[in-house]
Structures are given as C-alpha cells and as structure tokens.
Amino acid sequence: MFKTMNDEVEEIKRKIDIVEFIGSYVTLKKAGTNYKGLCPFHNEKTPSMMVSPEKQIFKCFGCSEGGDVFSFLMKIEALGFGDALKTLAVKAGVTLKPRYFEKLTSGEQPGQKSRLLELNELAGRVYHKVLVDHPKAVKAREYLDGRGITQKTIEEFNFGYAPDSWDFLIRFCEKHGYTEKELILSGLAVRKNQIENSSNNRQSYDRFRGRIMFPICNILGSTVAFTGRDLVDRENSPKYLNSSESPIYHKSLIIYGLDKAKIEIKKTDRVIIVEGQMDVVACHQAGFRNVVATSGTSLTKEMLETLSRYTFNIYFCFDSDNAGQLALKRAIGLAGELDLGTKVVTLPKEFKDPDEAIQKDPKNWPEAVERAKPGLEHLVDIYTSNLNDINDKRAAQKELLPLIKILKSETEKEYYIKYLAKKLLVTEQTLIEEMRRLKVQESKSPEVQKEEETGSELSDQEKLLAVLLEKPAVLKDQLGKAVQLLRPMGEFERLIIKIKQLDPVDEKTVSDILKQTVKKDRLKEIWLGLMSELDDPEAGINDLAEDLLKGLKKASLEDRKNIILKQISEADSKGDKKLCLKLLKELNSVIINGSKE
C-alpha cells in the first residue's frame, strides 16, 4: 500500500519514545504518570517541563514551549522540518521515500544542515577506512597503538586518517555528489588564498592533510566537525587543528564525548571535564565514561548550561601549568554564576594528564576523583599557598572575593569567607566589607569581566604578543612599528612597558623578553588558538599579523582623536580660539591619515 508522508511521520513517532529521546538531552524524573525535567529552552532552577509518555508530547509551563518529538528536535537543534524528519527517520530505522525530499509539503527543499551532516558522516567513514586499511596510514596506526588505543576504541570513536594530499577528500566527495562550495562551508575544505602548492585548477584544497582525525559529534551522535592531530610536523602548523565553524558546528556549544557520556553522567550524577580529547578517549576506554572535553576552545557558559541538564555536579581536571590554572579559575567562576557545584580533580605530580595516569594504572583515576576538592576551596588554597607579605594577601583577595560574591548560596558565601579569612589571617568582617565595595560587574564571570575591561584593542595586543613570542620574523621590518603601537594596559601592562623600552628593537630581544615572562604560557595558549582558527596557518600568519597591526593602528588613531577632542573642549572653555583652531587642524590631519589606512 502506498504510504503518504503523514504515514511516515506517524511511524517515526510510534517508534521513538519521546521520554527516552528528550531524556538524552535533559534529566527526567518520574512525576505521577508523567516525567518532569528542567526546560532546555529557558533558564530555570525548578523543573517546569512535563513529558507525557501516553500522549508522546512535552509541555513547559514556564516558557510555553511544547509539541511532539519533531517539535523538540527542531527547536533544540535549530533544524527545519526536513532535516528533523531525516534525522529521526535514521534513529527510528524508517526508510523515507526519495520523492519526499524533492519537495516537502511545506515547500521546504532538502536542508543545508542535512546535506552538511551527511557530508561530514561520509568524510568520517572515508577517513576511518583509510586509517584501518590504507598503507599510507601506517604511521597513524603506530601512533594510536603507542598511545594504548585499542581497535575497539578506534571503532567506537570512529578515528580516521587524512592522507597528506591537497585534494584527496574533495575528489572523493565530488564523486558522491557534493560540491566544492559544500565542502568549504562544512570546513572540510579551504578556499585558495596564497597557496601555490596545489597545481590543479580547483578553487579549494583539503583542510586536513597528514592528520589523525577525531570526529566531533553533537548530542545525537552525528558528526558535525573534526579535530586533526598533525603527524607531518609542518612548520607554523598547530599540532591540533579543528574544523572551522559552520551551520552545523558552533564550537562554543559542542562538548566532545557528551553523546557517549550522557547516560553515565546521569547515572553517576557528575560530569568530569578534562582538557584533551585523548584524555576523554583514555577515560572511556578504561571504563570511566562520564568524562567530556571542550573542542579546542575555552569552556563556555553555554556548555555548562548544557551539562546542567544532566547533573549539577561539575568536576574539572585541567593541566597544572599557568594556562590550565587560568582556565580553571574562569570555569569555576562561570559555574558559580550558574549555581553549579564544582570540584577539582588533582592528579599526582608525576602524571601530566589523565591519559598518562590511567596508562600507568587505571586505579589512579578513580582515586584522584574521590580525592577531588570543592572548586573554590581549591582556588583559595592555590592563591594563599605562598603569602610572603601584605601585597600577596591583597593580590589573593582581589582574585578570590569576586568569585565568592557571585555565589548564589549564602551558606557557601559564609563558608568561603571564613575559609579565606583563616588563610589570610584577617577577620571575616574585613573581607565582608571589602566584598561589599566590589563593583557590580565584578560579580560577572571572570571571562565576561575580562572581555569588558580589556576591549577588542587589548585582544589584538594579546594576539600580537603571542605572534611576537612564537614567530616574530613574520613582522620583519614592521617590528618597530608594532612595538610602538602596543598600549600599556591590562594584564600585560608591565610586559608591554618593558618591550617598549627596548633598545634596539629586534626579533631576538623582543622574543627573549617574552620567553622570560611568567605570562608565556598564556601567550602560548593564545598562539595555539590563533593557529587553529586559520584556514591554513602556513599562508595565513602573515595576513594575521598585518590585520593585527591595522587594528592597533586604528585604535591608536582613535586614542589620539579622543585626546585632541578633550583638549579642544578644554581650550574652548578657556576661550582660547587660537589653540582651538590649531587643535582642529591637528584633528583633521589625524582623521585624513586614518582614512588612508
């Protein structure tokens, strides 16, 4: 009998249990004949979303969102009906008739997101096939074997290998009906810029070449992006390279391994966030499956909000270097804003990461997890571990009080005020008074606060300092100009002042100063982030340096204009028309020079 689209939709809805499906996104608890959970479509602390297994619908009494399994998927993944239909059909094991996608009843054509998801799945399969069978992937197989990765884990995580070729993937995918434009949009290919190595007439080349491929999946387990681990050791190329953002991949939202960890997270009522993807793999392989990682970016508020659907207990296990500790402080601040419980997992000093600890002895990991200390308590201990004088105490207080202030629980605030007062040898009342004097914006997450205080110009400065640390030669004759444009402000103020006082200003002296600073780990972190963002680091670093110089020059001109405008106002208030005229000419000259840039 001929089936209509409505028949197919109803068949999918019969085969997919809406409670189980929504339960993969949100922790649901039995409430009479229904289930209740926190609504993922608005912020709330008390569950207001009901899911009915009898009616196969959901309804939030807080924001009024509701509907069937299709409505939920379309809303939470921002999909059109066509894409949602195809996604759920695969999950339900329902084969859709091709004619449905020639033109859906709504007039919607096959979705762009659906095409990109299929393209990424195809790329994942071919990368995996190359890793498992191709002679050119011998080095990749040896690397994974050396890291203790089993064949079962390779299959589960669908690891692959991208050959060191300019158009291997492009040629393969074009044979299967995908266009160069789709490959570029997906982040699998890069549009040609200054690359001359590729001899063919294509407008693009493979983004990943000579890399072990780690698929990055969304919550449904669909591949949306990749991380490639370099095995060729190219100069100026990052060890780990991520897909660029696309309509299906937003790095601030995706959590690596969550699709595989979500069940265990709900079961254990805690999630452990680590830094590296290989750490996630090592933990899962050893049986510790409630472990996830960020995908080549800093932990974001959106990621924590996603995790809070499964548990309010967040554990962090970050590196002990400066960059890792800075990331930990930001993470604990963000979790504090969301009223999440945090703990810090500290490994024995002989192990640099969870992977290494587990390889030595799998027991090391659960023992470290059980020893985990409350997040803010851990930070207090770190910042008060070496107090030599009153300045050290003031510095510790400045770092910690904003984190205490943003806590939602008054009980927690009181506890940490007492804990910090004991460490600093001051009265609790003193800290309470100091905390009251903090500005309102200081109660925001450290990441947001830093962004507001520094502005985009300082962000350019951080990037430029990172370039000066790693590749000062790319600035060549513009090195002196770059140093002149640096503005002594923010966390790098003292360092910038020191660089601006250099004589002579050359690559070696600048690099030496930066390598000696305690901030070099932070700059290294920025550098790796910059490299992962470039479509091709080898070609893009010069353009990046030029863009940073332009941005800093623009900021410098803005500063100069503001100073002159202030001087004009002061001269005008004094009635000094001659000075006003002179300053107006100077302002005009600055504006003209700026327009020529």
Domain 113-195+202-242, what fold?
Answer: DNA primase DNAg catalytic core, N-terminal domain (3.90.980)
Higher pLDDT, 554 or 311: 311
User: For residue 133, what pLDDT is reported?
Assistant: 93
Q: How many CB atoms lie within 10 A of CB 401?
A: 21
What strands lie across the sheet with 29-31, from one edge to the other?
Answer: 29-31, 34-37, 49-52, 57-60, 66-67
β-pairing, 313-317 with 271-274?
parallel
Instruction: Return the ∠ at Cα 89 (arms to 88 and 90), rounded to 5°.
Output: 90
What whole-number distance in Å separates Cα of residue 152 and Cα of residue 287? Answer: 13
With a cut of 90, say whether residue 153 has pLDDT above it: yes
With a cut of 60, say whether residue 444 has pLDDT above it: no
User: For residue 174, what pLDDT is reported?
Assistant: 93
pLDDT in tens, 229-264: 998 877 667 888 889 888 889 888 899 999 999 889
Produce one character per residue of 22-42: b if its CB has 16 or more CB atoms within 10 Å, e if not.
Answer: bbbbbbbeeeeebbbbbbbbe
pLDDT band at 442 (very low <50, low <70, confident <90, very high): very low
Question: Residues with Cβ < 8 Å from 125, sequence gap 6 or more?
Answer: none
Helix (H, G, I), strand (E, B) or coil at 169: helix
Helix (H, G, I), strand (E, B) or coil at 576: coil
pLDDT in tens, 322-381: 777 888 999 999 999 899 999 999 998 888 889 999 999 999 999 999 999 999 999 999
Q: Do residues 348 and 342 make contact, with C-beta atoms less than 8 angstroms apart?
A: no
Residues pairing with 162 in the sheet: 211
Domain 255-381 CATH (choose: 3.30.2270.10, 3.40.462.20, 3.20.20.100, 3.40.1360.10): 3.40.1360.10
Lowest mean pLDDT among 105-119, 147-161, 212-226, 551-565: 105-119
User: For residue 561, what pLDDT is reported?
Assistant: 79
β-pairing, 211-217 with 223-230?
antiparallel
Mean pLDDT of 432-443: 70
Domain 5-109, what fold?
Answer: DNA Primase; Chain A (3.90.580)
β-pairing, 341-344 with 373-374?
antiparallel
What six digits make up the tokens of 354? 């969870």
Mean pLDDT of the chain: 82
User: For residue 369, what pLDDT is reported?
Assistant: 94
With a cut of 50, say whether residue 203 has pLDDT above it: yes
pLDDT in tens, 74-100: 888 777 787 788 888 888 888 877 544
What six digits make up the tokens of 199? 């001899």
Residue ranges per domain, the chain? Answer: 5-109, 113-195+202-242, 255-381, 384-444, 448-553
What six digits make up the tokens of 33? 């004949």
End-to-end, the C-alpha distance of the chain in Å comes to 70
Q: Do residues 257 and 291 make contact, with C-beta atoms less than 8 angstroms apart?
A: yes
User: For residue 340, what pLDDT is reported?
Assistant: 93
With a cut of 80, say whether residue 167 has pLDDT above it: yes
Q: How many CB atoms lie within 10 A of CB 348?
A: 11
Mean pLDDT of 297-306: 87
User: For residue 107, what pLDDT is reported?
Assistant: 39
Same fold, 5-109 and 113-195+202-242: no
User: For residue 575, what pLDDT is reported?
Assistant: 80
Higher pLDDT, 65 or 533: 65
What whole-number distance in Å separates Cα of residue 91 and Cα of residue 18? Answer: 12
What strands lie across the sheet with 373-374, from one edge to the other?
Answer: 255-256, 291-294, 271-274, 313-317, 341-344, 373-374
Q: Do residues 351 and 360 make contact, with C-beta atoms less than 8 angstroms apart?
A: yes
C-beta pairs of 19-23 under 8 Å, 24+ apart in sequence: 19/51, 19/53, 21/69, 21/72, 21/73, 21/91, 22/51, 22/58, 22/69, 22/72
pLDDT in tens, 464-502: 777 777 777 777 667 777 777 776 666 667 777 777 777
What whole-number distance in Å separates Cα of residue 280 and Cα of residue 355? Answer: 8
Helix (H, G, I), strand (E, B) or coil at 536: coil
User: For residue 86, what pLDDT is reported?
Assistant: 81
With a cut of 70, say whether residue 224 has pLDDT above it: yes
Helix (H) / strand (E) containing 432? helix 428-436
Instruction: Return the ∠ at Cα 284 (arms to 282 and 288), rounded to 5°.
Output: 110
| Residue bearing tokens 């100091």 | 434
What six digits make up the tokens of 194? 């200054």
What whole-number distance in Å separates Cα of residue 553 and Cα of residue 559? Answer: 10
Which amino acid belongs to residue 102?
E
Cα Rg, the chain, nearest whole Å:
27
With a cut of 60, say whether residue 415 has pLDDT above it: yes
What six digits make up the tokens of 536? 């091709």
User: For residue 103, what pLDDT is reported?
Assistant: 42
* Cα-to-chain-centroid distance, residue 295: 6
Residues pairing with 246 in the sheet: 249
What six digits make up the tokens of 36? 């209740």
DSSP letter for 472, please.
G
Which sign does the torsion angle of CA 324, 326, 332, 335 carry? negative
Higher pLDDT, 249 or 2: 249
Residues pairing with 240 in the sheet: 229
Lowest mean pLDDT among 52-66, 151-165, 182-196, 238-252: 182-196
Residues pairing with 255 in the sheet: 294
CA distances from 376 to 189, 346, 563 (A): 43, 14, 42
β-pairing, 271-274 with 255-256?
unpaired
pLDDT in tens, 403-412: 999 998 889 9
Burial of 66 (0-12, 13-18, 19+ CB in 10 A): middle
What whole-number distance in Å separates Cα of residue 47 and Cα of residue 27? Answer: 10
Residues across the chain: 597
